[in-house]
Amino acid sequence: MTGKEPNKDLRSAVRLTPEKEADLTAQLLELADTDVKRCIQCGRCTANCPMAKHMDLVPSRMMWELKNGRASVVLAAGSPWDCLSCFACETRCPRGLNPAGVMEAARLLSIRPAGAPVLTAEDVAKLDPGMPQQAIVAAYRKFSK
């Protein structure tokens, strides 16, 4: 797996009207079911994340963007697809929040509009054998449009 360029300007990649942004943020927060307003930006999620080095948007930044109503930035990032769902971030968050849950919500929200699973059984053989199992399982998750 190759490291992505961190902190590339994800914000400039997205142009949504304020209403659409607010709607997207509300959808993401509802799916994530964690109170991002309680985040105090201590960074323990990023510090604990085994994949943080490979992410373009580290977990603490993701929480920050979401807290400030910019779900589009989270959805434009590759980080949700790097997340291993190991939940180290949730276990060690001093505020009891769940950044991994936000990652999961971002994945769901990205694949929902596609209307079909991003991964089919035939694709598995073609995958990089080093790909984490959690990521494959996540891609098979039940979803609906």
Smallest distance, other proteins to C-beta of residue 61, A: 5
**Three-state SS for 130?**
coil
Q: Which structure tokens are listed for 3?
A: 């490291």
Sign of CA dihedral 99, 114, 127, 142: positive
141 binds other proteins (CB under 8 A): no
Q: Which of 118, 88, 90 is nearest to 33 (CA)?
A: 90
Quick note: the x/- pattern for other proteins over 14-53, rule CB under 8 A, is ------------------------x-xxxxxxxxxx--xx
77 binds other proteins (CB under 8 A): no
Q: Which residues bind to other proteins, rule: CB under 8 A?
A: 6-7, 38, 40-49, 52-53, 57-58, 60-61, 88, 92-96
